[in-house]
Amino acid sequence: MIKANDPKLESWIEVPKNSDFPIQNLPFGIFKGENQKPCAASIIGKKVIDLNALAQLGYFDDLAFNKNTLDKPVLNPFIRQKRKVWRMVRERLSYLLNKENATLRDNPENQGKIFHDLKDVRMKLPVRIGDYTDFYASKEHATNVGTMFRDPKNALLPNWLHLPVGYHGRASSIIVSGTPIHRPKGQTRPDADKPPVFGPSKLLDFELEMGYILGQGKRLGKSISTEEADEYIFGLSLFNDWSARDIQKWEYVPLGPFLGKNFASSLSPWIVSLDALEPFRTQQPKAEVEVLPYLRNKGKNALDIKLEVQIKPEGGKAKTVCRSNFKHMYWTMQQQLAHHTVNGCNINAGDLLASGTISGKNPSSYGSMLELSWKGTIPIKMNDGSERKFLQDGDTVIMKGYAQKSGHVRIGLGEVRTKILPAT
Ligand code: CA
């Protein structure tokens, strides 16, 4: 077992019960403290850890990696140094924060330079995302959408069980949790017998997804096998892939998603390492047809991460509308990465791949309003008595995720929270 994952470890820093960020997590992000430039950070409990300050004060001096990479406004230069460096830094943090270790515990002066209360800092988008690819890897989601829009008898298209279907998304409009979005405008055709119209989308939706950020690149012409995929995955963040269903429905034939998708996607600020999530690996759903050799996936490659979506109306209380789990995904991250690169497509540190909407079998586990309201036919009650079929202006969508099982400490992904403002 990885030493930093030991459930017996405790820190001298207070960690509230059921915190997403115990000493066994130690995710990476970028923060901006008062009167300082953005730089690399981690978090324990409610304390943000300035990794650049730790480096400046000499706590990483004996570790062989480029410490200047921690003094940057994005994590790309740091994560490009490959998995052994990410591991080494997380292990060192675990060692310094351990309650048995006096090095930093008994140095209040240095603590003042290193730790910040989470409420006093701003979290930034953790990486400069060069390329973003979105998959469609939940069988339940693909079946639901195929049933609603095409044909219940042939809901899954013939390719679906043979390859992880995906498309290239837009990287420039990916925003960090806390950044509001405006309702998108566009062309729709609400009446099939009339010409299209222009205006604010009436069917604005979220998609509950898991984003994963690639840590090292691979050259053009090379591929990544399912076996080596983990070496390329820096970590996971919650991802809300906003969708305007009315714009999407009219525009998507024949080339796929465009303006119904590219107006915004929201990412949580902390990237949780595959190492921290190691205890929560589990078997993926059984393959229903034999896949080609390059997509074979040995061992446990799904992750048991509980997911939740809440809608908070303006001035009202948040209501949980969906509980799902990342382990439902038919195609794993390793298979997606192998498929993405099998043709020689290169990837770079900081690229973002997203799972696609994570729906389970149970209707309360559907990961979008499109499915929860079944194309607007089943209204969902909010705590204030109002109803939603799709999202309204003033709504805040909050996604949370954490892994928990007996014998292990809860590892959380934090949250991604975004408010919807009226169309401009
Ligand atoms: Ca999506």
Instruction: Determine the distance separating the centroid of ligand 1 and the alpha carbon of 379, expressed in angstroms.
Output: 22
Q: Are residues 265 and 347 in the same domain?
A: yes
Active site residue 141: yes
Instruction: Determine the distance separating the centroid of ligand 1 and the alpha carbon of 251, expressed in angstroms.
Output: 16
Nearest to 303 by CA among 342, 355, 263: 355
Instruction: Determine the distance separating the centroid of ligand 1 and the alpha carbon of 213, expressed in angstroms.
Output: 16
Q: Are residues 86 and 175 in the same domain?
A: no
Global confidence as pTM: 0.97
Q: Is the dihedral of CA 385, 386, 391, 395 positive or negative?
A: negative
Query: Which of 71, 99, 124 lies at the terminal end of a domain, its last residue?
Result: 124
- Quote the distance between the C-alpha of residue 314 and its chain's center: 25
**Alpha-carbon Rg of the chain, whole angstroms?**
22
Which is the catalytic residue, given 116, 141, 339, 340?
141
Query: Which of 97, 124, 151 lies at the terminal end of a domain, its last residue?
Result: 124
Q: Are residues 273 and 213 in the same domain?
A: yes
Residue 288, judged by CB atoms within 10 A of its CB (0-12, 13-18, 19+), counts as exposed
Q: What is the mean pLDDT of each run of 10 residues along the chain (424 residues)?
A: 93 97 98 96 98 98 98 98 96 98 98 98 98 97 93 93 97 98 98 97 98 97 98 98 97 94 98 98 96 96 98 97 97 98 98 97 97 97 96 98 96 98 98
Q: Are residues 144 and 115 in the same domain?
A: no
Answer yes or no: is 15 within a domain. Answer: no
CATH assignment at residue 307: 3.90.850.10
Answer yes or no: is 91 within a domain. Answer: yes
Instruction: Determine the distance separating the centroid of ligand 1 and the alpha carbon of 135, expressed in angstroms.
Output: 7
CATH assignment at residue 95: 2.30.30.230
Which pair of tokens denotes residue 131? 């390329």
Which pair of tokens denotes residue 207? 């998609």
Instruction: Determine the distance separating the centroid of ligand 1 and the alpha carbon of 160, expressed in angstroms.
Output: 16
Q: At residue 114, what is the residue type?
A: I
CB 328 within 8 A of CB 212: no
Q: Are residues 53 and 172 in the same domain?
A: no
Answer yes or no: is 3 within a domain. Answer: no
Q: Are residues 120 and 138 in the same domain?
A: no
Instruction: Determine the distance separating the centroid of ligand 1 and the alpha carbon of 263, expressed in angstroms.
Output: 12
Report pLDDT for 150: 86
Instruction: Determine the distance separating the centroid of ligand 1 and the alpha carbon of 20, expressed in angstroms.
Output: 25
Q: Are residues 60 and 91 in the same domain?
A: yes
Q: Are residues 55 and 137 in the same domain?
A: no
Answer yes or no: is 370 within a domain. Answer: yes
Answer yes or no: is 9 within a domain. Answer: no
CB 265 within 8 A of CB 244: no
Answer yes or no: is 270 within a domain. Answer: yes
Q: Are residues 85 and 139 in the same domain?
A: no
Which SS3 state, helix, strand or coil, does residue 229 take? helix
Report pLDDT for 86: 96
Domain of residue 190: give its range: 132-421
Answer yes or no: is 297 within a domain. Answer: yes
Q: Are residues 189 and 246 in the same domain?
A: yes
Instruction: Determine the distance separating the centroid of ligand 1 and the alpha carbon of 276, expressed in angstroms.
Output: 25
What's the domain count of the chain? 2
Q: Are residues 256 and 398 in the same domain?
A: yes
Answer yes or no: is 8 within a domain. Answer: no
Q: Are residues 183 and 95 in the same domain?
A: no
Query: Which of 124, 157, 182 lies at the terminal end of a domain, its last residue?
Result: 124
